[in-house]
């Protein structure tokens, strides 16, 4: 038996009489305006397996009686609950998902947490928990997601956490943790997101495993760290003999033999001042790149309180709003608000910051600044601000509905060919980026935005990562591979847990190319299991291209009869479409080794473009020269 009553606008207290529904297995009252305390009588629901109260205005303490239920999922986040977490809640060994985020809970994390061997998710972020991380946590051997950011925890990271080898995401940021960063995190093969920022950690940063990928972890706001990979920009660690002790930041007695030490300590003081001045912003991209700073109030004002009237796009990890604000030469911007309640959203924010701070290409979306702060409700708030591209995303133009875009017709062959070449150039730039290639991991039409001149810009780098070609196996992960792209576009090898490579982007690009020139989405209802967009085109290639090609791209017989000297006759068009689809088929082959490299793809497409539209010179735009040739033939 299940009871679902949210999201709605329900107000008032939760009726204690709900405790009489003895056969209830699932209760969900999420996203209402319920107030008052959680009735202790709900502990009588001994068959209750899933209990969701997230997103209400509940107060008071968590009833210890909930420990009598056979709970597998207990979700009480985003309320105003107070008091300590009752030990009894952890006595139900059936619990696999425990979410108490964004309340006002106090006291220590109960040591009974370690009894939950089957626990998969623990989310305590955004409370006022004190004490140390219990050493008993090593007993949670099935734990995959642990979020404890923005609390008041102190002490070191316990060595017993080395038993949590299945961890995929770990966030201990914004606490008062001290000591060194444990080396054992480097050996966690499935760990794809690690946030240790804004604590009091000291010592050397490891440089293996997850610490070799700057987009996968964050350590900002720990002023006494050193070493690590060069991308972190940390000072080198002092080499000390075993007889010497490490000295924290203390007054230094100067002697003749300490000149070199003074130089190094001066550098540390400089770094400390720089970090300290940026602590309020908590913004890795704005602080490092000297970009404009914006506050929550600025973004709220620019988007009219994040009004739905300004909502221009929505994805798994964020919502994008049109905003009116002055940032340099930009008066209109696109503001992406991260959905931090989604697991992986913080990783997405970090990935976009770390990749876009380095990347510069005319066909990539330009980031203007970022914001990481606390909203008026004292919840974490993260946002990215991009240039605004008025023609929206490519998906809306490929599958345009009548009346959209001011009556704009479907994209013509010339426009589509220019777009795929520009997108290919951007992907080629990513794959050839130095010192390490970048894999986008989510190429698809909805992530390609068009400016006022219909020039494409690849965006949404929330899944992107730098890759180390010398040690690719370090990226193998059974957990994060589920987020390696979108169904229909993601490379088949990602589905069986293979590591992220540039070949995966090539596959997605191949599917994108096939979609653009057939007009069919790879997620269409006709494509299932083995019969996908690739096999659909293969069945007609090369002799029946006209059957699968988008009919908007092929001149009709009537057009050819009216204009026998047409620049693009039907035969020439079908021939070039076959050449384009051939590239898409090679890029989307099942085996990664059989796919083309992006630099070769771009070269081949340029050749097709030149044969289809031979140009006399390099002056003017491509489209203007085509128009000029057409006018000449008309005369």
Separation CA 223–CA 359 (nearest Å): 27
Q: Is the dihedral of CA 151, 157, 162, 168 positive or negative?
A: positive
Which residue from 260, 262, 277, 201 is spatially nearest to 234, judged by alpha carbons?
A: 201
Categorize the per-residue pLDDT at 212 as very low, low, confident or very high, splitting at 50, 70 and 90. Answer: confident
Give the pLDDT confidence score for residue 4 in this predicted structure: 87
Give the pLDDT confidence score for residue 480 in this predicted structure: 34
φ and ψ at residue 305, rounded to 5 degrees: 70, 35
Categorize the per-residue pLDDT at 572 as very low, low, confident or very high, splitting at 50, 70 and 90. Answer: confident
CATH architecture of 284-387: 2-Layer Sandwich (3.30)
Confidence check: pLDDT of 571 > 60: yes
Give the pLDDT confidence score for residue 325 in this predicted structure: 93
- Under CATH, what is the fold of the domain 2-233? 3.80.10
Burial class (CB in 10 A: 0-12, 13-18, 19+), 179: middle
**Beta carbons within 8 Å of 501's beta carbon, 6+ residues apart:** 439, 467, 472, 592
Categorize the per-residue pLDDT at 290 as very low, low, confident or very high, splitting at 50, 70 and 90. Answer: low
Is the model's pTM score more than 0.85?
no
* Average pLDDT of the segment spanning 30-54: 91
Give the pLDDT confidence score for residue 447 in this predicted structure: 94
Give the pLDDT confidence score for residue 239 in this predicted structure: 67
Categorize the per-residue pLDDT at 96 as very low, low, confident or very high, splitting at 50, 70 and 90. Answer: confident
Domain assignments of the chain as residue spans, ordered by start = 2-233, 284-387, 394-634
**Reduced to 3 states, what is the DSSP secondary structure of residue 320?**
strand
Higher pLDDT, 361 or 213: 361
Q: Which of 1-15, 280-294, 390-404, 490-504 has the lowest mean pLDDT?
A: 280-294
pLDDT in tens, 590-634: 999 999 999 999 999 999 988 876 643 444 444 444 444 444 433
Give the pLDDT confidence score for residue 137 in this predicted structure: 93
Q: CA angle, 464 as apex, 461 and 465 as ends, to 5°?
A: 145
Give the pLDDT confidence score for residue 618 in this predicted structure: 44
Higher pLDDT, 369 or 473: 369
Q: Which residues pair with 3 in a beta bridge?
A: 27
Give the pLDDT confidence score for residue 627 in this predicted structure: 47
**Reduced to 3 states, what is the DSSP secondary structure of residue 576?**
helix
Give the pLDDT confidence score for residue 274 in this predicted structure: 40
Confidence check: pLDDT of 388 > 90: yes
Categorize the per-residue pLDDT at 481 as very low, low, confident or very high, splitting at 50, 70 and 90. Answer: very low
Confidence check: pLDDT of 211 > 60: yes
Categorize the per-residue pLDDT at 238 as very low, low, confident or very high, splitting at 50, 70 and 90. Answer: confident
Categorize the per-residue pLDDT at 471 as very low, low, confident or very high, splitting at 50, 70 and 90. Answer: very low
Separation CA 181–CA 187 (nearest Å): 13
Two tokens, residue 457: 């810009």
> Is 559 designated active site?
no
Separation CA 410–CA 416 (nearest Å): 10
Give CA torsion, residues 457, 462, 463, 469, to 10 deg. 70
pLDDT in tens, 64-95: 999 888 888 899 998 999 999 998 888 777 88
Q: Which of 130-139, 551-560, 620-629 has the lowest mean pLDDT?
A: 620-629
Q: Which of 115-124, 280-289, 361-370, 402-411 has the lowest mean pLDDT?
A: 280-289
Higher pLDDT, 479 or 41: 41
Categorize the per-residue pLDDT at 560 as very low, low, confident or very high, splitting at 50, 70 and 90. Answer: low
Give the pLDDT confidence score for residue 472 in this predicted structure: 41
* Average pLDDT of the segment spanning 322-348: 87
Confidence check: pLDDT of 227 > 80: yes
Confidence check: pLDDT of 314 > 80: yes
Give the pLDDT confidence score for residue 291 in this predicted structure: 66
Catalytic residue, candidates 123, 298, 380, 442? 442
β-strand pairing of 145-147 with 121-123: parallel
Percent of the chain with pLDDT over 90: 43
Cα 345 to Cα 340, 341, 351, 352: the distances in Å are: 5, 7, 10, 11
Burial class (CB in 10 A: 0-12, 13-18, 19+), 167: buried
Categorize the per-residue pLDDT at 558 as very low, low, confident or very high, splitting at 50, 70 and 90. Answer: low
Categorize the per-residue pLDDT at 280 as very low, low, confident or very high, splitting at 50, 70 and 90. Answer: very low
Two tokens, residue 404: 């959209």
E-strand ranges in 271-366 read 311-314, 318-327, 330-338
Confidence check: pLDDT of 333 > 90: yes
Categorize the per-residue pLDDT at 309 as very low, low, confident or very high, splitting at 50, 70 and 90. Answer: very high
Confidence check: pLDDT of 520 > 70: yes
Span between the terminal Cα atoms of the chain, in Å:
77
Domain 394-634 in this protein, CATH class: mainly alpha
Which residue from 188, 190, 220, 192 is spatially nearest to 205, judged by alpha carbons?
A: 220
Give the pLDDT confidence score for residue 124 in this predicted structure: 93
Percent of the chain with pLDDT over 70: 81
Output the average pLDDT for the chain.
Answer: 81
């Amino acid at each position: 038996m299940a009871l679902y009553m949210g999201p709605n606008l329900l107000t008032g207290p939760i009726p204690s009489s709900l405790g009489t529904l003895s056969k209830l297995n699932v209760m969900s009252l999420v996203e209402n305006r319920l107030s008052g305390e959680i009735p202790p009588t709900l502990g009588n629901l001994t068959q209750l397996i899933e209990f969701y109260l997230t997103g209400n205005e509940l107060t008071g303490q968590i009833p210890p009686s909930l420990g009598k239920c056979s709970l597998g999922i207990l979700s009480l986040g985003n309320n105003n609950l107070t008091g300590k977490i009752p030990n009894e809640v952890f006595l139900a060994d059936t619990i696999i998902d425990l979410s108490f985020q964004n309340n006002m809970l106090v006291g220590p994390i109960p040591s009974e947490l370690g009894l939950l061997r089957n626990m998969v998710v623990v989310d305590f972020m955004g409370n006022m928990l004190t004490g140390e991380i219990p050493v008993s946590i090593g007993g949670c051997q099935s734990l995959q997601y642990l979020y404890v950011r923005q609390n008041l925890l102190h002490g070191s990271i316990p060595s017993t956490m080395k038993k949590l080898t299945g961890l995929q995401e770990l966030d201990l940021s914004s606490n008062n943790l001290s000591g060194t960063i444990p080396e054992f995190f480097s050996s966690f093969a499935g760990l794809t997101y690690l946030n240790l920022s804004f604590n009091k950690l000291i010592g050397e940063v490891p440089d293996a495993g997850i610490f070799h990928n700057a987009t996968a972890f964050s350590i900002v706001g720990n002023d006494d760290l050193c070493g690590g990979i060069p991308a972190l920009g940390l000072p080198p660690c002092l080499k000390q003999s075993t007889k010497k002790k490490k000295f924290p930041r203390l007054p230094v007695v100067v002697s003749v033999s300490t000149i070199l030490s003074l130089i190094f300590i001066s550098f540390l003081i400089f770094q400390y001042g720089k970090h300290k001045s940026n602590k309020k912003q908590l913004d890795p991209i704005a602080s490092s790149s000297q970009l404009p700073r914006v506050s929550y109030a600025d973004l709220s004002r620019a988007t009219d309180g994040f009004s739905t009237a300004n909502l221009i796009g929505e994805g798994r990890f964020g919502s994008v709003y049109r905003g009116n604000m002055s940032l340099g030469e930009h008066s209109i911007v696109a503001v992406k608000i991260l959905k931090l309640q989604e697991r992986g959203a913080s990783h997405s924010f970090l990935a976009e910051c770390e990749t876009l701070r380095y990347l510069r290409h005319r066909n990539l979306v330009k980031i203007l600044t970022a914001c990481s702060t606390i909203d008026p409700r004292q919840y974490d708030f993260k946002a990215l601000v991009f240039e605004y591209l008025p023609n929206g995303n490519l998906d809306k133009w490929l599958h345009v509905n009548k009346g959209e875009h001011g009556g704009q017709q479907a994209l013509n062959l010339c426009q589509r060919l220019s777009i795929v070449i520009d997108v290919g150039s951007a992907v080629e730039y990513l794959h050839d980026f130095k010192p390490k290639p970048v894999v986008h991991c989510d190429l698809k039409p909805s992530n390609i935005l068009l400016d006022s001149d219909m020039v494409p810009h690849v965006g949404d780098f929330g899944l992107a990562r730098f890759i180390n070609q010398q040690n690719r196996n370090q990226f193998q992960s059974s957990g994060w591979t589920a987020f390696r792209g979108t169904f229909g576009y993601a490379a088949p090898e990602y589905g069986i847990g293979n590591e992220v490579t540039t070949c995966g982007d090539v596959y997605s690009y191949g599917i994108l190319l096939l979609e653009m020139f057939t007009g069919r989405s790879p997620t269409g209802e006709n494509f299932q299991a083995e019969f996908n967009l690739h096999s659909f085109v293969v069945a007609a290639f090369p002799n029946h291209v006209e059957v699968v090609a988008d009919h908007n791209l092929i001149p009709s017989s009537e057009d050819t009869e009216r204009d026998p000297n047409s620049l693009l006759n039907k035969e020439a068009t079908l021939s070039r479409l076959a050449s384009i689809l051939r590239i898409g088929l090679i890029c989307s082959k099942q085996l990664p080794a059989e796919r083309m490299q992006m630099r070769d793809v771009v070269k081949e497409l340029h050749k097709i473009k030149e044969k289809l539209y031979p140009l006399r010179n390099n002056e003017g735009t491509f489209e203007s020269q085509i128009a000029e040739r057409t006018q000449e033939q008309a005369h």
